[in-house]
């Protein structure tokens, strides 16, 4: 039962395991499954509900709208998944109350080598399941979804991209924009002109040093304009500030170094 080093094992607890074909049957994650670079296994709490109606939900004590996932079927599904998982596999519950998913958390999950993702439905999960069987709660952002399945698939997709071989030789996860901590530069493909809109001359120049410099300038400038929060922890070098300055001046905006530093430190 030896998992080849570097590959990733995903266990999923869900009342809708069929949703996970979105990762197992499409795109790079499908190829990763076919080549054994990732494994996605599902356990359905419904299969561990033994009453006539296979009940998996119940009313909240203390009242309130909606239903909760009841303890026993969910708890048994998690226990079964743990038995099949590599020893020491952590259990992560997708939850609006969780820590926000970002690139560093994705990297941490990849380093674990295996993970069990719990996708909840209804209005939530009995707190004792979280206390007894869950190591960490993770949210994908401050908006309300109908369940934890789409967030779990976000984790599977993002972590899978870090597994060597999943992206092929061309692409390198380390060059992905969030690995760099910057937004991506603008990209263009044929044709050269679309309704009079030209691809920038530099990109067509064939001067790769210049193109690299322009892309860095665009990545820094866009990050400064759209996500200044990403630059706060980056400790920008003088030449990087200069690139932001020239980016802003090219657009007819205030490119003074003082304004730039101020916006980055204050954060917006
Ligand atoms: C959402 C369950 C909200 C319970 C009426 C008014 C997992 C998620 C989820 C869900 C509530 C994630 C309420 C970002 C998400 C998830 C289902 C609580 C209270 N009811 N990341 N207010 N967003 N969502 N509802 O929704 O399971 S990770």
Query: Could you count the other beta carbons within 10 Å of the beta carbon of residue 254?
Result: 11
Please check the confidence at residue 170 and state whether its pLDDT lies above 70: no
Per-residue pLDDT reduced to its tens digit, 90-133: 999 999 999 999 999 999 999 999 999 999 999 999 999 999 99
Q: Which residue has the tokens 């200069």?
A: 242
The reported pTM is 0.95
**Residue in 123, 192, 207, 254 annotated catalytic:** 123
Structure tokens at 122: 């209804």
pLDDT at 180: 84
Per-residue pLDDT reduced to its tens digit, 231-241: 999 999 999 99
Please, which contacts does 234-241 make with residues 24 or more away whose CB atoms are closer than 8 Å?
Answer: 234/181, 236/264, 240/216
Higher local confidence (pLDDT), 168 or 50: 50
**Residue in 39, 96, 137, 213 annotated catalytic:** 96
161 is catalytic: yes
Q: 51 alpha carbon to ligand 1 midpoint, in Å? A: 27
**Residue in 57, 176, 225, 242 annotated catalytic:** 176
pLDDT at 171: 60
Per-residue pLDDT reduced to its tens digit, 237-268: 999 999 999 999 999 999 999 999 999 997 65
42 SS3 class: strand
From 95, 121, 138, 158, mutation site for ligand 1 pocket: most ligand atoms within 8 A of C-beta: 95
- As a whole number of Å, the end-to-end CA separation of the chain is 51
From 19, 123, 129, 142, mutation site for ligand 1 pocket: most ligand atoms within 8 A of C-beta: 123
Of 11, 150, 148, 144, the C-alpha closest to 81 is: 11
123 is catalytic: yes
Q: Exposed, middle or buried: residue 179 (CB in 10 Å: 0-12, 13-18, 19+)?
A: middle
Please check the confidence at residue 172 and state whether its pLDDT lies above 90: no
Average predicted confidence (pLDDT) for the chain: 95
Residue whose CA is at the smallest distance from ligand 1 atom 20: 123
DSSP, residue by residue, 133-163: H-SEEEES-SS--S-SHHHHHHHHHHHHTTS
**Residue 144 Cβ contacting ligand 1 at under 6 Å:** yes
pLDDT at 102: 98
**Residue 60 Cβ contacting ligand 1 at under 6 Å:** no
Please check the confidence at residue 174 and state whether its pLDDT lies above 70: no
Q: 128 alpha carbon to ligand 1 midpoint, in Å? A: 18
Ligand 1 atom nearest residue 120's Cα: 27
């Amino acid at each position: 039962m030896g998992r080849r080093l570097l590959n990733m094992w995903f266990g999923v607890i869900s009342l809708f395991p069929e949703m996970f074909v979105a990762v197992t049957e499409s795109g790079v994650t499908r190829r990763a499954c076919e080549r054994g670079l990732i494994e996605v296994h599902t356990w359905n709490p419904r299969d561990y509900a033994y009453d006539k109606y296979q009940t998996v939900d119940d009313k909240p004590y203390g009242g309130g709208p909606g239903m909760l996932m009841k303890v026993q079927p969910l708890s048994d599904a998690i226990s079964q998944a743990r038995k099949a998982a590599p020893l020491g596999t952590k259990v992560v519950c997708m939850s609006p109350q969780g820590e926000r998913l970002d690139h560093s958390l994705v990297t941490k999950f990849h380093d674990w080598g295996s993970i069990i993702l719990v996708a909840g439905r209804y209005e939530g999960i009995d707190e004792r399941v979280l206390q007894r069987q869950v190591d960490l709660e993770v949210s994908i952002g401050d908006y309300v979804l109908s369940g934890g399945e789409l967030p779990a698939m976000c984790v599977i997709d993002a972590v899978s991209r870090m597994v060597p071989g999943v992206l092929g030789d061309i692409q390198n996860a380390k060059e992905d924009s969030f690995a760099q901590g910057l937004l991506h530069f603008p990209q263009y493909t044929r044709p050269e002109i679309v309704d009079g809109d030209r691809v920038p001359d530099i990109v067509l120049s064939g001067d790769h040093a210049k193109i690299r410099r322009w892309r860095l300038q665009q990545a820094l400038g866009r990050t400064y304009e759209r996500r200044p929060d990403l630059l706060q922890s980056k400790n920008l070098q003088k030449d990087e500030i200069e690139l932001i300055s020239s980016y802003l001046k090219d657009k007819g905006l205030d490119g003074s170094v003082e304004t730039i530093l101020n916006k980055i430190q204050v954060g917006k």
